[in-house]
Amino acid sequence: MASRVKRVMAEEASRGSAGGIGSQVLPFAPMSAGYGKVAVLLGGRSAEREVSLKSGNAVLNALKSSGVDAHAFDPSEYELAELKEFDRVFIALHGRFGEDGTIQGALELMGIPYTGSGVLASALAMDKWRTKLVWQAAGVPTPRYALLTSRTNFEQVVEELGLPLMVKPASEGSSIGMSKVMQAADLQPAYELAAQHDRLVIAEQFIAGEEYTAAILGDVALPLIRLETPHTFYDYEAKYVANTTRYLCPCGLAPERERGFQALALRAFELLGCQGWGRADFMLDASGTPYFLELNTSPGMTDHSLVPMAARQAGLSFEQLVLRVLENAHVG
């Protein structure tokens, strides 16, 4: 596995992905007057509504402070047809109905430019199982897994994957419905918890090691962030509530190694057809092998969020980051 991963990383660097990697990004000249009337989609109906409200309001304030004619728009409170009065849309929705291709499809039909990935890439990245299928086919390393149902032989899953295991809904974010299973007897209850959030549930090999995230802006991989938490894993509380989570940026890796992982993160992003911006999360095991966990196409923008941290390390303020994302709004 390690030699194959190194080969993929070297291929990515040599084919030019590394040209979009570094601790600094190109200077950015805001053109706020050229964006027209902007809707910031926030809230929504998903289990991540509260996080989305925080992200959306942070984005809204940043746009307004930059002189953009920006307005909050909660799809759970307004008809989508009312978006026709806007020139662009900044999607700050998280989870279902905002990050899974549905809102992107509606905006495509209305011909309104929007931020982030398109319909197919959004739907694909939201589905952790199908994301894994694409990555496995292309040689991007990802933990071994099994799909769980009520008829699953849970003992056999433990025999095949070992312990610990991560059990998660395939199409939820923010660690909602996720559990770390330490004992075989806990696997079925963990499945039942995850199944409350999604019909498709994954049991995934736990990778012991360091956790990293790679923020992507356009075709640039921003500086990596290493995450450290005293929690059993990087759960909802560690992400949005706790003050004990540590975020290390610079991440501490040697520059050449960091560039290699950034190249692989860009590859993972491109394979799913993603565009605009996103965030790839991966683990690094004791041997130094990376294992990609998921690709987030509408990352958080709260005071605990990772993309703003990486952007700041690359020389972009929060306001500049938001404008850069908005600048890449598209249809099609």
Residue 268 lies in a domain: yes
* Total domains present in the chain: 3
Confidence band for 16, pLDDT divided at 50, 70 and 90: very low
Catalytic, out of 46, 122, 296, 305: 296
Q: pLDDT for 182-207, tens place per residue?
A: 999 999 999 999 999 999 999 999 99
H-type alpha helices, the chain: 2-14, 49-65, 102-110, 119-126, 128-138, 154-161, 187-195, 236-240, 255-271, 306-313, 318-327
**269/322 same-domain check:** yes
pLDDT at 9: 65
Q: Residue 147 forms beta bridges with which residues?
A: 202
For residue 274, what is the domain's CATH number? 3.30.470.20
Catalytic, out of 281, 291, 305, 319: 281
The answer to whether residue 7 is catalytic is: no
Q: Which of 159, 188, 205 is the last residue of a domain?
A: 205
**Residue 323 buriedness (CB in 10 A; 0-12 / 13-18 / 19+):** buried
Cis bond leading into 164, ω under 30°?
Answer: yes
Cis bond leading into 223, ω under 30°?
Answer: no
Residue 175 is classified by DSSP as: T
Amino acid at 69: D
Catalytic, out of 174, 175, 298, 305: 174
More confident residue, 290 or 20: 290
Q: Which residue has the tokens 């849309």?
A: 89
Full residue range of the structural domain in which residue 78 is found: 32-115
pLDDT at 234: 56
Q: Which of 177, 205, 233 is the last residue of a domain?
A: 205
Catalytic, out of 212, 259, 300, 324: 300
- The 3-class secondary structure across 180-241, one letter per residue, is EECCHHHHHHHHHHHHCCCCCEEEEECCCEEEEEEEEECCEECCCEEEECCCCCCCHHHHHC
**174/224 same-domain check:** no
| Closest CA relative to residue 117, chosen from 320, 311, 269 | 269
Catalytic, out of 240, 276, 291, 319: 240
The answer to whether residue 74 is catalytic is: no
The answer to whether residue 294 is catalytic is: yes
**238/286 same-domain check:** yes
pTM of the prediction?
A: 0.89
The answer to whether residue 174 is catalytic is: yes
What number is the average pLDDT over the span 243-253?
A: 91
The answer to whether residue 240 is catalytic is: yes
**76/16 same-domain check:** no
Catalytic, out of 12, 35, 46, 48: 48
pLDDT at 18: 41
Residue 75 lies in a domain: yes
The answer to whether residue 52 is catalytic is: no
pLDDT at 302: 85
Residue 163 is classified by DSSP as: S
Q: Which of 159, 184, 205 is the last residue of a domain?
A: 205
CB 134 within 8 A of CB 124: yes
Side-chain half-sphere of 45: how many Cα atoms within 13 Å? 9
Q: Can you tell me the distance from the alpha carbon of 88 to that of 133, in angstroms, rounded to the nearest whole number? A: 33
Q: pLDDT for 80-114, tens place per residue?
A: 999 999 999 999 999 989 999 999 999 999 999 99
